[in-house]
């Protein structure tokens, strides 16, 4: 894959997508990067201010469920590959409103697959549909030292993970039925700059800043495997260029944290950086009713990715958390903008 490429990245104005777009735009000036995003509450063009004027970058506001528009975009930009991140991504929202998850994550993915199949046409030379999935499709683990490997059966529990699992099945079906060249990756929990402050880490940083309660679900004993978002973007770059078509790769940090222990690290770090005595904000911890169907433990085995393609996480967790907390505290305006919703009105006017 050394030639020029026209790559459609969906969901590029979101958290992970913006890091992927930035990496590809900066690292590959010979590629045209087309960022397609509907700019839902989670999409924010502020995330890409630093690269928005680069000659190899284009933003298109569109909905992945809109087939005619998607086909037009494939034609207009001569798209040869897709990195598909656009999704509804928050588990709590999926419990409240599962329909939008089925629509965006399942029908939206199917719409993109069908457009790619029709535009590219078999035998699909130099095309790739790279689908970004999650470890949540595997279900949950006990505290028994086991890990999710690529051959684990799917057992989603939340409407979010059920919708992601369904989209993964469609992606595989398009390979098995039509020969569409696909790759799927399943990644663990990401953290870092530009994450919407409804997810645990930015929500808690923001709440500590405002001296608001920190809602810990259940007893805070659930375990997640945390990966710095730039390491995920780096894995996507390697897999996009060197991954084996039709294969699946797990991406994870080998970095498991019990929620309550992670929360204490966040509190300690935020307090220190805000100049408060460390531990002041421990009093904000508030145990609340558990999330329905709350998966107990996620832990990814990414040995395959290390052995086959040489990827490993580059950042130690302590360093990643320090960097992340600093970023949110230095970008309080960003936090205020995304929580106020004003930025959407502003950018909608700009890109009309
Ligand atoms: P996010 O919610 O921050 O961003 C999602 C983006 O998709 C937003 O920019 C939003 O505007 C866009 N979008 C939503 N609906 C759309 C539609 N109908 N058409 C076009 N664009 C639309 O999500 P994220 O956390 O960056 O996750 C990105 C992808 O990675 C998702 O597919 C998610 O399932 C997956 N993933 C996330 C994590 C994580 O820890 N955040 C881990 C593993 C996998
Ligand atoms: O594992 C990958 C997944 O990680 C991604 O596919 C999802 O898109 C992403 O949102 C994330 O899902 P989680 O549900 O694990 O992330 P969240 O930040 O919502 O929650 C992390 C843990 O913290 C989880 O055990 C629930 C708990 N939690 C979360 C929130 C928002 C709380 O205790 N209190 C909270 O207020």
198-222 pLDDT per residue, tens? 999 999 999 999 999 999 999 999 9
Q: Is residue 342 part of a domain?
A: no
For residue 111, the surrounding DSSP H or E stretch is: helix 108-120
Q: Is residue 265 part of a domain?
A: no
Q: Is residue 348 part of a domain?
A: no
User: Which atom of ligand 1 is nearest to 136's Cα?
Assistant: 43
Whether ligand 1 lies within 6 angstroms of the CB of 89 is answered as yes
pLDDT in single tens digits along all 352 residues of the chain: 557 999 999 999 999 999 999 999 999 999 999 999 999 999 999 999 999 999 999 999 999 999 999 999 999 999 999 999 999 999 999 999 999 999 999 999 999 999 999 999 999 989 999 999 999 999 999 999 999 999 999 999 999 999 999 999 999 999 999 999 999 999 999 999 999 999 999 999 999 999 999 999 999 999 999 999 999 999 999 999 999 999 999 999 899 999 999 999 999 999 999 999 999 999 999 999 999 999 999 999 999 999 999 999 999 999 999 999 999 999 999 999 998 866 556 555 655 5
Q: Is residue 270 part of a domain?
A: no
Instruction: Output the pTM of the full model.
Output: 0.97
Whether ligand 2 lies within 6 angstroms of the CB of 317 is answered as no
d(CA 223, CA 245): 32
Pairing of strands 81-84, 128-134: parallel
160 is catalytic: yes
Whether ligand 1 lies within 6 angstroms of the CB of 11 is answered as yes
Residue nearest to atom 8 of ligand 2 (CA): 89
Whether ligand 1 lies within 6 angstroms of the CB of 104 is answered as yes
Residue of 48, 86, 195 to test ligand 1 pocket, by largest number of atoms within 8 Å of CB: 86
Centre of ligand 1 from the C-alpha of residue 304, in Å: 25
d(CA 351, CA 39): 11
DSSP letter at 148?
A: B
Centre of ligand 2 from the C-alpha of residue 272, in Å: 24
Of the listed ligands, the closest to the CA of 199 is 2
Q: Is residue 117 part of a domain?
A: yes
Domain total in the chain:
1
Within the chain, what is the greatest distance between any pair of CA atoms?
63
330 is catalytic: no
Query: Which domain does 111 fall in, by range?
Result: 6-195+226-255+293-317
Residue nearest to atom 23 of ligand 2 (CA): 200
d(CA 272, CA 160): 35
Whether ligand 2 lies within 6 angstroms of the CB of 215 is answered as yes
Q: Is residue 57 part of a domain?
A: yes
Write down the pLDDT at residue 40.
96
Centre of ligand 2 from the C-alpha of residue 342, in Å: 25
* CATH number for the domain that contains residue 96: 3.40.50.720
Whether ligand 2 lies within 6 angstroms of the CB of 297 is answered as no
Q: Is residue 135 part of a domain?
A: yes
Centre of ligand 1 from the C-alpha of residue 157, in Å: 19
Residue of 10, 41, 43, 305 to test ligand 1 pocket, by largest number of atoms within 8 Å of CB: 43
Q: Is residue 210 part of a domain?
A: no
Sheet holding 223-228, edge to edge: 189-191, 223-228, 256-258
d(CA 107, CA 86): 12
Centre of ligand 2 from the C-alpha of residue 157, in Å: 13
Facing residues of 288 across strands?
A: 217
Write down the pLDDT at residue 3.
77
| Phi-psi group of 310: left, alpha or beta (phi > 0 → left; psi -120 to 50 → alpha; rest → beta) | left
Residue nearest to atom 17 of ligand 1 (CA): 63
346 is catalytic: no
């Amino acid at each position: 894959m050394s030639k020029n490429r026209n790559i459609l990245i969906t969901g590029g104005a979101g958290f992970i997508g913006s890091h992927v777009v930035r990496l590809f735009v900066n690292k590959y000036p010979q590629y045209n990067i087309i960022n397609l995003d509907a700019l839902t509450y989670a999409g924010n063009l502020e995330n890409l201010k630093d690269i928005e004027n680069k000659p190899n970058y284009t933003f298109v506001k569109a909905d992945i469920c809109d087939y005619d528009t998607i086909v037009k975009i494939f034609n207009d930009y001569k798209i040869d590959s897709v990195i598909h991140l656009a999704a509804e991504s928050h588990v709590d929202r999926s419990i409240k409103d599962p329909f939008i998850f089925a629509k965006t994550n399942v029908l939206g993915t199917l719409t993109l697959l069908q457009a790619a199949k029709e535009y590219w046409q078999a035998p699909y030379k130099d095309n790739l549909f790279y689908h970004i999935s999650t470890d949540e499709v595997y279900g949950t683990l006990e505290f028994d030292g086991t890990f999710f490997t690529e051959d684990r059966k799917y057992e989603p529990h939340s409407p979010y993970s059920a919708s992601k699992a369904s989209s993964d099945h469609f992606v595989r079906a398009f390979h098995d039925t039509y020969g569409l060249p696909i790759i799927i990756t399943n990644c663990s929990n990401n953290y870092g700059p530009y994450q919407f402050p409804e997810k645990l880490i930015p929500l808690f940083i923001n709440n500590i800043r405002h001296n608001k309660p920190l809602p810990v679900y259940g007893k805070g004993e659930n375990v997640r495997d945390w990966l710095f978002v730039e390491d995920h973007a780096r894995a996507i770059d390697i897999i996009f260029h060197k991954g084996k078509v039709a294969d699946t790769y797990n991406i994870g940090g080998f970095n498991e944290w019990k929620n309550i222990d992670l929360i204490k690290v966040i509190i300690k770090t935020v307090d220190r950086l805000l100049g408060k005595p460390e531990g002041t904000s421990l009093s904000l911890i508030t145990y609340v009713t558990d999330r329905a169907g709350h998966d107990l433990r996620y832990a990814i085995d990414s040995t395959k990715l290390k052995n086959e393609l040489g990827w490993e996480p580059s950042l130690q967790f302590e360093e990643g958390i320090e960097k992340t907390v600093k970023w949110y505290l230095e970008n309080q305006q960003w936090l205020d903008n995304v929580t106020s919703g004003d930025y959407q009105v502003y950018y909608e006017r700009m890109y009309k």
